[in-house]
Amino acid sequence: MKVDGKCHCGEIEFEAEIDPARVVVCHCTDCQVLSGTAFRTVVFTESDGITFKKGEPKIYVKTAQSGNPRAQGFCGNCGSAIYATSVGDGPKVYGLRAGSLRQRGSLIPGKQVWRQSALSWVDDIKSLPAVQQQS
């Protein structure tokens, strides 16, 4: 499935070929800190399945729990998270941050990972009072 996305400020625009069956919610603590929220929604590209149309992401390399380095691509201007991928040469699969994709509304997660660090309230938000906009 072809998708396209951009960062919040618009300096970075990209297209990607993703597998809509591979959408996951990640509750790992790195995703919590890096996204600034409770969990992250990630969709995986086909191998080398991303093309940048405008701009280049800034890269931050973190060490994953596995010990492997993971390159985090984000906009150096507005900070929007774009992807994570492996470090080094060879074909790469990109874990796209679904929020940066125009088609995010139609990408439905099929699995949760790192459930052991999920925040205690995530399953309960449906029962919270809800307003359609702020306040």
Question: Which run of H or of E encompasses 24?
Answer: strand 13-26
Per-residue contact flags (x/-) with Zn ion for residues 2 to 21, judged by CB under 5 A = -----x-x-x----------
Residue 18 · residue 51 · CB < 8 Å: no
**Residue number, 18 or 118, with CB nearest to Zn ion:** 118
Residues between 51 and 90 with contacts to Zn ion, criterion CB under 5 A: 75, 77-78
2 contact partners, CB below 8 Å, separation of at least 6: 15, 16, 17, 18
Alpha helices of 36-103 — where are they, by DSSP H?
A: none
> Contact between 26 and Zn ion (CB under 5 A)?
yes
> Contact between 43 and Zn ion (CB under 5 A)?
no
**Residue number, 26 or 131, with CB nearest to Zn ion:** 26
> Contact between 35 and Zn ion (CB under 5 A)?
no
